[in-house]
Chains A and B, each alone.
Chain A
Amino acid sequence: MLTPQMIDRLWQALQDTLLMVGVSAGIAVLAGIPLAVFLVTSDRNGIFPAPRLNRIAGALVNGFRAVPFIVLLVALIPFTRLVAGTTIGVWAAIVPLAVSATPFFARIAEVSLREVDPGLIEAAQSIGCRRWHIVRHVLLPEALPGIIGGFTITVVTMIGASAMAGAVGAGGLGDVAIRYGYQRFDTTVMMAVIAILIVLVCAVQFAGDTAVRRLRAR
């Protein structure tokens, strides 16, 4: 059985996980969508062609995506100190989580944006849309179901990645599972954490799927 202290600890850990994932997912959206739009529109055949910048951005995204999260967590410590003012705790984990999730999400959103029918862009140009009108009225709304689907994948991936945040003392569900479940052989805690994570991931996936279904039903 779980002791009341352990239930408290799990509750605290759930809150930490939600805070870490929530804030960094928010940052990933705010930074990832513009990055995805840039990757698509600055393409040679895009509406703001800038092939050189496009290649640089693409290489940067690939670079960040190549580094495993646990390595990024440590490698980014100086940057984290600069941004969050600390290198331990929840806020110290949010910085690397966001840095890792942004390029991941940007790549997924990029795929959806690229799938927007070029005929729609042509139609928008023919009715006198300026280029940013095309981004706002055509690219983003038309790609929205795909972007939301991609965001769901991103959040689930981030819930997984946040388990490693214990390495910088950020707490969270993964940290509880490692310290109590693994290192102290407390199988009950391990099972409880797994159960909570399963429910959490299912809830996120369900919310994402529902939103996508609603949008696609139009």
Chain B
Amino acid sequence: MTGAPAIAGSPARAAATSEARRKGGTVSFEGLGKVYRSSAGEVTALSDISLDIRAGEIFGIIGRSGAGKSSLLRTINRLEQPTSGRVRIDGEDIAGLDESGLVGLRRRIGMIFQHFNLLSAKTVRENVALPLRVAGVARDEIAQRVDQTLALVGLEGKGDTYPSRLSGGQKQRVGIARALVSRPEILLCDEATSALDPETTVSILTLLKDINRRLGLTIVLITHEMSVIREICDRVVVIEKGEIVEEGPVWQVFGTPCHAATQALLQPLENGLPEDLAHRLRDTARPGDETVVELRFAGHRTPDLTGLAAAAGGTVRLLSSQVERIQGHAIGQILVGLGAGARPEALGQIADSARVIGYVDATDD
């Protein structure tokens, strides 16, 4: 064992500040591979994954379904056994743990699920208390910590309800409470918002971000929705066919998606060319036409509107805009229409890239 803190339960640990707890919670994969063997043959789910997840960050793993992200997440608490390579939690190789070691490890790693996986025969309180009960924590301490945790996730007063009576968002809050009650250093989220409506998704993501900040725990989440990554992640890795195809800070991956898989995942977030413009767009200019220029911002510059007007040297109209701020970086694209006499080629210095996509008759507007 390396310097991992003792399992939750001791008063000293209960009093530990979030500062102290930030020390634990790193995950590193070294050449990880997973092959499923069945009568139908071998299927490679993961190959040669090497990755470091830092303590206290929110790390996203995204990929299309079947990309292997779920298998990867499950190797962290060994619900899935890798066939090659290593997983280290705070430097400790978890492959060698016996049942007791594994139980201890899992008490340091919380997990929440797409379908919540709450026990229907137990009340909310009993569900949340279970990790402490099986760890042999004293009864009154359990009661106290369950109350604290239910308050943390905003479920005061719901303790004696059965899960079937709760909404999806409330069920996921119970799941989060159950995962947090052991005071883990790492929280694994398996498509935690995929079964929720957009509004509830936002509230759960806000809660996760809040927990990450207040408790300083590492969050590793998998999703197939780029919007989830954009909402809360610090760094992201894109998995395709069991391999890492892209990795980096979220703004970078959003700003400069290199791999086709990443671009495909980003597609639903992009509006593309507005339909009316697409209809009227011509390849060649006629007299009096506006030149339509697409300016892309990949996070290296902030759109400078004065500079834009100056560089264009003529009339500039904003036709469509889709720029957002991710981790303090401007990401997205804008379409501008330049009047006669403007110099489209000068716009290259305003944005990270600029290109003329066509010409439209300005008098139609």
Contacts and interface: CB of A to CB of B under 8 A. Distances in A.
Given A120-B119, A142-B121, A215-B121, A127 B79 contact: no
A125 interface: yes
A84 B322 CA distance: 85
Given A125-B79, A127-B178, A138 B119 contact: yes
Main secondary structure of the interface of A (DSSP, over half): helix
Contact of B104 (A117, A128, A129): A128
Interface string B35-70: 000000000000000000000000000000000000
A129 to B, nearest CB: 5
A63 interface: no
B140 interface: no
Nearest to B178: A127
Contacts of B113: 119, 122-123
B109 A126 contact: yes
A141 interface: yes
Contacts of B179: 126-127
Contacts of B133: 137
A213 interface: no
| Band of interface residues on B | 20 to 34
B131 A127 contact: yes
B120 A137 contact: no
Contacts of A141: 119, 121-122
Interface in A101-130: 117, 119-120, 122-130
Contact of A128 (B103, B120, B162, B164): B103
Contacts of A125: 79, 106
B335 to A, nearest CB: 46
A123 B110 CA distance: 10
A120 B35 CA distance: 24
Interface string B116-132: 01111110000000110
Given A119-B113, A122-B79, A130 B121 contact: no
B111 interface: yes
B143 to A, nearest CB: 18
Interface in A134-187: 137-138, 141-142, 144
Interface in B131-159: 131, 133-135
Main secondary structure of the interface of B (DSSP, over half): mixed
B194 to A, nearest CB: 14
Contacts of A128: 103-104, 106-107, 131, 134-135, 182
| Band of interface residues on A | 20 to 34
A137 B117 contact: no
A137 B162 contact: no
Nearest to A129: B134
Interface string B77-100: 101000000000000000000010
Contacts of A119: 113, 115, 117
A127 B117 contact: no
A218 B117 contact: no
A133 interface: yes
8 contacts: A119-B113, A119-B117, A122-B79, A123-B178, A126-B110, A127-B134, A137-B130, A141-B121
Interface of B: 77, 79, 99, 103-104, 106-107, 109-111, 113, 115, 117-122, 130-131, 133-135, 162, 164, 178-179, 182, 188
Interface of A: 117, 119-120, 122-131, 133, 137-138, 141-142, 144, 215, 218
Given A141-B121, A142-B120, A218-B164, 20 more contacts: A117-B117, A119-B115, A120-B119, A122-B113, A122-B117, A125-B79, A126-B79, A127-B110, A127-B111, A127-B131, A127-B179, A128-B134, A128-B182, A129-B103, A137-B133, A137-B134, A141-B122, A142-B119, A142-B121, A215-B121
5 closest A-B pairs by CB: A123-B117, A141-B121, A126-B111, A127-B131, A128-B107
